[in-house]
Amino acid sequence: MQTDNTITICGNLTRDPETRYTQSGAAVTTITIAATPRQYNKQTGQFENGPALFMRATAWRQLAENITDQLVKGQRVIATGHLKQDTYTDKTGAQRTSIELQLEDIGPSLKFASRPAQTAPPTATQGQAQNAGGGWPQVAQPPQAQANYQAPAGGQQGDPWSVPENPPF
């Protein structure tokens, strides 16, 4: 893995991910990320779009399949990987160079995301996690198990940070 040219890019997907499979069955997904910088114009007092950068990116195997399942055209993403440069000959015989991002990781950006208002907290059913007030989820137990549970000495029930007064060593 090359670390000297690792970059991170934030932008929007220009189209839905395109996935193909190699003869050996490995998934390969190709996307294009459009990154448009915003610049403040002092004369108008407003932000304006700068020149857009369109970066082609490729992912392999499980990451490729996850991208196909989770990301869609127009979605804002944060992607990191290393640059790969290829040289080829075009139809006119001229030598050309292309640069693409070999993805190591990618995910949705929350910069402009809005969170819908919650009307009521979700309720946990038996076997699902519940928040015990200490910030840590606990698995719901049958009523008879809850009645027999006792907090460890020196702490409160459900407090993951409570420890006995004396260390065990």
The CATH code of the domain that includes 70 is 2.40.50.140
With bands split at pLDDT 50, 70 and 90, how would you rate the model's confidence at 143?
A: low
In a domain, 87, yes or no: yes
CB 64 within 8 A of CB 100: no
* Number of domains the chain contains: 1
Q: Where in the sequence is the domain holding 12, given as residue range(s)?
A: 6-108
Quote the distance between the C-alpha of residue 113 and its chain's center.
13
- CA–CA separation, 49 and 40 (whole Å): 9
CB 143 within 8 A of CB 151: no
Neighbours of 77 (CB within 10 A): 19
* Residue 153, pLDDT above cutoff 60: no
Q: pLDDT (tens digit, 9 = 90+) per residue, 104-142? A: 999 999 988 777 655 656 655 545 555 555 555 665 555
In a domain, 168, yes or no: no
In a domain, 120, yes or no: no
Compute the half-sphere exposure of residue 117: CA atoms within 13 Å on the CB side of its CA. Answer: 1
DSSP state of 27: E
What pTM was estimated for this model as a whole? 0.62
